[in-house]
Amino acid sequence: MKYKAILFDLDGTLLDYRAAQKTATGNNAGHFKLVNSPEVQSYESRGVPLPGSTEMKRVFIKFGVHTDPVKFLDTYFKRLSQHGILITGALQILERLHKQVELAVVSNGHSSVQLPRMQKAGIADLFPYRFFSYDTGFTKPDPTILNLAMKTLEVIPEETLFIGDSTTSDQPAANSAGIDFFLFKGNYSDPVLQELLK
């Protein structure tokens, strides 16, 4: 194989994020929209704005969710952490790759939420290296988190492949870090991906 290390995004690439979100919000459409707002997504990945902030309270009002943001988000993220639903084909790919190359997860999230989800999905042990934006302080599309991963794995950009599903965070981060990128569209049988992983 051309690569010595393969970095994976987590949500939408290995785990079904939307399904987990829907379950964690009790399939409430308004709550689902709220947790996908830029503000809640920013809190999930970077810790700001704080749940008790005026900015967050405004977002709750905007989406018609009349509850305490602190309690709501605490409950939501606890529920989210309990759902690790693997995307079809992910486990088979990972079980093969972990014997051949270094694997790492690079996720815009918090380890207290993402690690339990990886454990529920049965993939935590396949990833000795995990880089979460909330914990590292670097959020994709900032390439710093990818550079940190490569430094830790002791590989250079030419030896690294990043697999992710986002054209707004994963792809520009990979481009800025100078590493090969595969845009995952939900199919691990994709012939282009299969060729890259030979």
Q: For residues 72 and 31, give the distance between their C-alpha atoms in angstroms, rounded to a whole number.
A: 10
Asked whether residue 169 carries a pLDDT value surpassing 90, the answer given is yes
At 80-96, the pLDDT tens digits run 999 999 999 999 999 99
At 35-53, the pLDDT tens digits run 999 999 999 999 999 999 9
Q: For residues 167 and 122, give the distance between their C-alpha atoms in angstroms, rounded to a whole number.
A: 27
Prediction pTM value: 0.94
Q: For residues 32 and 124, give the distance between their C-alpha atoms in angstroms, rounded to a whole number.
A: 26
Asked whether residue 118 carries a pLDDT value surpassing 90, the answer given is yes
> Residue type for 111, please?
S
Listed by start position, the domains of the chain span 5-15+85-196, 18-80
Q: What superfamily does domain 5-15+85-196 belong to in CATH?
A: HAD superfamily/HAD-like (3.40.50.1000)
**CB 27 within 8 Å of CB 99:** no
At 57-113, the pLDDT tens digits run 999 999 999 999 999 999 999 999 999 999 999 999 999 999 999 999 999 999 999
H or E element at residue 33:
helix 29-35
Asked whether residue 115 carries a pLDDT value surpassing 90, the answer given is yes
Collapsing DSSP to helix, strand or coil, 121 comes out as: helix
